[in-house]
Chain A
Amino acid sequence: AQKITQTQPGMFVQEKEAVTLDCTYDTSDPSYGLFWYKQPSSGEMIFLIYQGSYDQQNATEGRYSLNFQKARKSANLVISASQLGDSAMYFCAMREPDTGRRALTFGSGTRLQVQP
């Protein structure tokens, strides 16, 4: 079974608008962590935001926020005021430390294109 599911292979958004990238996950580890990374065409993986399973509030980092719905096992990324430089591949990832898997497992990714 997929641990991390991203159902949107590609998304388009107009510059200055907000966009939501979907992510659902599956784990039996009570203390997991959820991460979003951005991968531009240059290849490097850039950390955007982190949500811990015990965190009471949704994480925010500048224009990025994470809509964490624990009961639904979803961790959607919201990008506000999109910029042309936001065009990239976005990966949702999970860490399950209690299972011994302290490495990240990635979803299949969503390619975001911001249009002027």
Chain B
Amino acid sequence: DTEVTQTPKHLVMGMTNKKSLKCEQHMGHRAMYWYKQKAKKPPELMFVYSYEKLSINESVPSRFSPECPNSSLLNLHLHALQPEDSALYLCASSQTGANEKLFFGSGTQLSVL
């Protein structure tokens, strides 16, 4: 199994809603990532988890709250988002070696109204 599965594929939410994005992998990878991608732009790193501990937070606003409940799952909790947070949210995983490739999910397309 070489897949990273993200749910939901599409999400529309209001600015007062609370929602969660989910990501799952069964490749035994111990590093997991959240990236944000605006239209026609490259992915931008948000968070990195290594061995279920948060190792990088790229100064992301607190309305985004990551969680890694176990080595296969990664969540991104969303609360009080702004319309400018509308984007494609990509999850990825990798081995923890120095130059391991990242395996990406197909993303969640988020629209904030």
Chain B hits for A37, CB < 8 A: 104
Identify which of residues 76-113 in chain B touch chain A, using a CB-to-CB cut-off of 8 Å: 88, 90, 92, 96, 98-99, 101-107, 109
Task: Give the size range of A's interface with the partner.
Answer: 20 to 34
Tell me which residues from 22 to 51 in chain A have a Cβ below 8 Å from any Cβ of chain B: 31-33, 35, 37, 42-47, 50
Size of chain B's interface in residues, with CB distance under 8 A? 24
| Cross-chain contact B98 with A97 (CB below 8 angstroms) | yes
Q: Which of A13-21, A62-70, A73-81, A103-111 forms part of the interface with chain B?
A: A103-111
A-binding residues in B (CB < 8 A): 31, 33, 41-45, 48, 50, 56, 88, 90, 92, 96, 98-99, 101-107, 109
Report A's interface with B, CB cutoff 8 A. Answer: 31-33, 35, 37, 42-47, 50, 52, 91, 95, 97, 101-109
Asked if B99 and A45 sit within 8 Å, CB to CB, the answer is no
